[in-house]
């Protein structure tokens, strides 16, 4: 499917980009983000020895082609997105989410849809005591990544969304561990709320969500 192909292209770019970056690090030139792109490559050309440039050039053309293919795939997915979606959720993200879920109506309760993304807390019991731990991460990793990316855009574009409101104080704080917990909690609720929206169990107004593309 188109979404998976896009993700595979991105992963291949990461893999090759990391190889070149590791080579630069091993030779004492530090870490270079997107080292194959024009600006970074021009800088590197005046810094690193010729033999190292020749080694890096092996991957440059491939990485540039991957950049081009990824841009084309993103544009195609965004164009294919139809219907309403929450403000801040791009067409690409919406299509990627839909391609992973496939059919929202297959999930009959909130825990099942949250489990799909592996965003439910682990549980264990001893006697009459029940404890909850970190999220299980048993689910679709790509879906979890999409939802986490959506959360940060929801924080920016939908500050009145109920789940964001609930964790607003933590998000404004400086504790990274608590912020991570907040993002996971919002992500879990967002997954559930999107399911509720898609299956007609709730309206966007009830969730304080602004919708676009309606």
**Cα-flanking dihedrals φ and ψ of residue 85, to 5°?**
-150, 155
The mean pLDDT value for 125-132 works out to 51
Evaluate if residue 203 carries a pLDDT over 50.
yes
Kindly state whether residues 113 and 70 are assigned to the same domain: no
Kindly state whether residues 130 and 165 are assigned to the same domain: yes
Distance, in Å, from the CA atom of 121 to the CA atom of 22, rounded to the nearest integer, reads: 36
Q: Which residue has the higher pLDDT, 26 or 123?
A: 26
Domain C-terminal end among 80, 113, 144? 80
Kindly state whether residues 72 and 111 are assigned to the same domain: no
| 133 touches 122 (CB < 8 A) | yes
Domain C-terminal end among 28, 54, 80? 80
Evaluate if residue 122 carries a pLDDT over 80.
no
Q: What is the pTM of this model?
A: 0.71
Task: Report how many domains make up the chain.
Answer: 2
Kindly state whether residues 56 and 115 are assigned to the same domain: no
Kindly state whether residues 113 and 207 are assigned to the same domain: yes
pLDDT by residue (tens digit) across 9-33? 999 999 999 999 999 999 999 999 8
37 falls in which pLDDT band (50, 70, 90)?
very high
111 falls in which pLDDT band (50, 70, 90)?
confident
Residue ranges making up the domain that contains 53: 2-80
Q: Which residue has the higher pLDDT, 202 or 141?
A: 202
Kindly state whether residues 104 and 33 are assigned to the same domain: no
Residue 48: how many CB atoms within 10 A of its CB?
A: 19
Evaluate if residue 124 carries a pLDDT over 50.
no
Kindly state whether residues 39 and 75 are assigned to the same domain: yes
Kindly state whether residues 74 and 92 are assigned to the same domain: no
Q: Which residue has the higher pLDDT, 114 or 35?
A: 35
The mean pLDDT value for 97-121 works out to 85
Kindly state whether residues 39 and 115 are assigned to the same domain: no
Evaluate if residue 96 carries a pLDDT over 70.
yes
Q: Give the model's pLDDT for residue 137.
A: 62
Residues 6+ apart with CB under 8 A from 176: none
Cα distances (angstroms) measured from residue 17 to each of 9, 25, 69, 213: 12, 12, 15, 36
Kindly state whether residues 184 and 156 are assigned to the same domain: yes
Evaluate if residue 207 carries a pLDDT over 50.
yes
Q: Give the model's pLDDT for residue 1.
A: 66
Extended beta strands in the chain, E state: 85-86, 121-126, 129-135, 211-212
Kindly state whether residues 99 and 198 are assigned to the same domain: yes
| 109 touches 42 (CB < 8 A) | no
């Amino acid at each position: 499917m188109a979404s998976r192909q896009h993700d595979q292209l991105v992963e291949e770019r990461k893999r090759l980009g990391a190889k070149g970056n590791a080579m630069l690090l091993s030779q004492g030139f530090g870490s270079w983000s997107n080292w194959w792109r024009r600006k970074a490559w021009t800088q590197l050309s005046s810094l690193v020895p010729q033999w190292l440039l020749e080694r890096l050039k092996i991957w440059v053309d491939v990485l540039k082609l991957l950049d081009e293919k990824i841009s084309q795939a993103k544009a195609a997915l965004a164009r294919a997105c139809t219907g309403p979606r929450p403000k801040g959720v791009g067409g690409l993200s919406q299509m990627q989410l839909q391609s992973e879920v496939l059919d929202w109506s297959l999930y009959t309760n909130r825990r099942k849809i949250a489990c799909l993304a592996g965003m439910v807390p682990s549980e264990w019991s001893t006697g009459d005591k029940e404890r909850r731990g970190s999220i299980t991460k048993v689910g679709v990793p790509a879906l979890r990544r999409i939802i986490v990316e959506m959360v940060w855009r929801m924080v920016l574009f939908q500050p009145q969304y109920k789940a964001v409101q609930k964790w607003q104080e933590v998000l404004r704080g400086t504790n990274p561990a608590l912020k991570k917990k907040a993002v996971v909690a919002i992500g879990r609720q967002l997954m559930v709320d999107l399911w509720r929206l898609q299956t007609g169990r709730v309206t966007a107004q009830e969730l304080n969500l602004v919708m676009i593309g309606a």
